[in-house]
Amino acid sequence: MRRNGRLNVTETLLKGKVPRRVELDGTMPASHEVEETRRRVAHVRLNLSLGAVAAANLLASLAFQWVVLTRLGVGVPTDALFAGMAIPQFVLAIASGSLLSVLIPVLAGESDETQRETAWSSFLLVGGASMILTAVLFATAPVWVGWLFPGFRSRNLDLAISLTRIQLPGIVFSTAVTVPLAAWNARSRFLWPELAPLIATVACLLPLPFLLTHWGVTAAAWLSTGKGLLFLLLVLPGLRAFRRPVRHSKEQREIGRRLLPLLGGSAYYKSDALVDRALSSLAPPGELSILYLGQQLWNAASQVLTVAIGRPLVPALSALAKQGRWSDFRSTLGKHLGPMLFLVVAGAVTFAIVGRTILTLLIGHGGVTTANVDLLWRVMLVLTVAFAAGSLGQLTSQAFYALGDTRTPTRLGILTFTVYVPLKFLAFRAFGIFGLAASTGLFILVNVALQYGLMSRLLRRRIA
């Protein structure tokens, strides 16, 4: 290993070893520089892998929507299908988003035994609560579906109720799945939680054309629910070996402290999607489907960016916050916000130029007319503000959650939503679904700007 008292660098590297000390003759970089290079390479590889899987998820989800719309066309059946997804997606937005934001920082950095106990306790509690909620919603569906979607009273209310009931079990699957997802991410295992929904979507996509031919829109509703169940089964090993729940543990108290204000506020300001679905049910037939599809496409694109850029951010920020390394915290957040801003702007500009052509190639077939594609492209142009602001907002809100602060984003959401809802009603009355799309973008943009301003001020105080 040593020749003339000096380290043989070539031999060391060929054996895959990294020396712990630094030679002063320049023959080899310091070990911390080697480790930093390796860390950066691994980080880039992870981001590329996550981005590729997220993009595949986007394509699979788009294919599912494409098959449904091209086989059935844009009209009352698809409106009823997407309306039936509203409550499961609403609960998902409240519970799942909140649980992930709370559980990942709490679980990150804890011992293996603590992670298992906390994860299993949370899983059983979340699963039981969501089952009770689903049972109540299923029994009372004939009452609240007509009230929530008034446009179906004069169309096909029975179909809307039936499709809603089929999709309600998705509430149980989509909320329970957040706990094993949080466990995977807390251990910095990001790839499988993104591969699992891709596998579930493809598995349900393959029989979709055949089932639509024989059972129509009902088949799409059943497969949508089945996809959630399969996703849950695939990620369930993230909980690892069963551990008896520990009541009133320190971790459970901390989860409750962070979660309660987040759930309460989210239930209020995340009802935005329900407002959209209720108002668009009053629009001409097919426009609810167009608005929903446009929102889903942009949400999927935002999810790709969030997974590739933001998913590894949460455990990293949580660890830095626990160590009190505020300069590194601010630097890490900034290194993620810059690329996100560039990508969302580039994506919006690209869509404005070639979006209509892409949409025509992708979904302008079968029952989807040229007029449908043109309307979808124009609606999505208006929604680009919501896409850009929402993608950036995923990072700013996660910064607060990493600090254990769930109250500030919640209060900001409540404040801006209170001002925004009356404007949304007025915008819909004046401009139809275009008004809904524009008001949504304005709401998210103001919210993100306030979050970023408060976070910047907070970090300046802690660094000073």
pLDDT at residue 41, rounded to an integer: 64
Indicate whether 405 belongs to any domain: yes
pLDDT at residue 25, rounded to an integer: 45
Beta-carbon neighbour count of residue 426 at 10 Å?
A: 12
Q: Same domain for 332 and 445?
A: yes
Indicate whether 43 belongs to any domain: no
DSSP state of 3: E
pLDDT digits (tens, 9 = 90+) for 205-232: 999 999 999 899 999 999 999 999 999 9
Beta-carbon neighbour count of residue 257 at 10 Å?
A: 13
Q: 364: helix, coil or strand?
A: coil
Q: Domain end: 229, 247, 263, which one?
A: 263
pTM of the entire predicted model: 0.66
Q: Same domain for 326 and 369?
A: yes
Distance from C-alpha of 81 to C-alpha of 74, rounded to nearest angstrom: 11
Distance of CA 398 to the CA centre of its chain: 12
pLDDT at residue 172, rounded to an integer: 93
pLDDT at residue 135, rounded to an integer: 95
Indicate whether 213 belongs to any domain: yes
Domains: count for the chain: 2
pLDDT at residue 37, rounded to an integer: 66
Q: Same domain for 210 and 149?
A: yes
pLDDT at residue 30, rounded to an integer: 53
Q: Same domain for 252 and 138?
A: yes
Indicate whether 132 belongs to any domain: yes
Indicate whether 139 belongs to any domain: yes
Indicate whether 16 belongs to any domain: no
Which string of DSSP letters, residue by residue, matches 27-39?
SS--HHHHHHHHH
Q: Same domain for 241 and 349?
A: no
Q: Same domain for 259 and 292?
A: no
**Between the CA of residue 47 and those of 42, 137, 195, 198, what are the distances in Å?**
9, 39, 14, 17
Q: Same domain for 235 and 296?
A: no
Indicate whether 269 belongs to any domain: no
Q: Same domain for 254 and 350?
A: no
Structural domain boundaries, residue 132: 56-263
**Where do the H-state alpha helices sit in 236-325?**
250-269, 272-280, 287-305, 313-323
Q: Same domain for 349 and 426?
A: yes
Indicate whether 30 belongs to any domain: no
- Closest alpha carbon to 70 in 299, 287, 373: 373
Q: Same domain for 162 and 235?
A: yes
Which residues in the chain show pLDDT less than 50?
Answer: 1-28
pLDDT at residue 15, rounded to an integer: 40
Q: Same domain for 304 and 179?
A: no
Residue count of the chain, please give it: 464
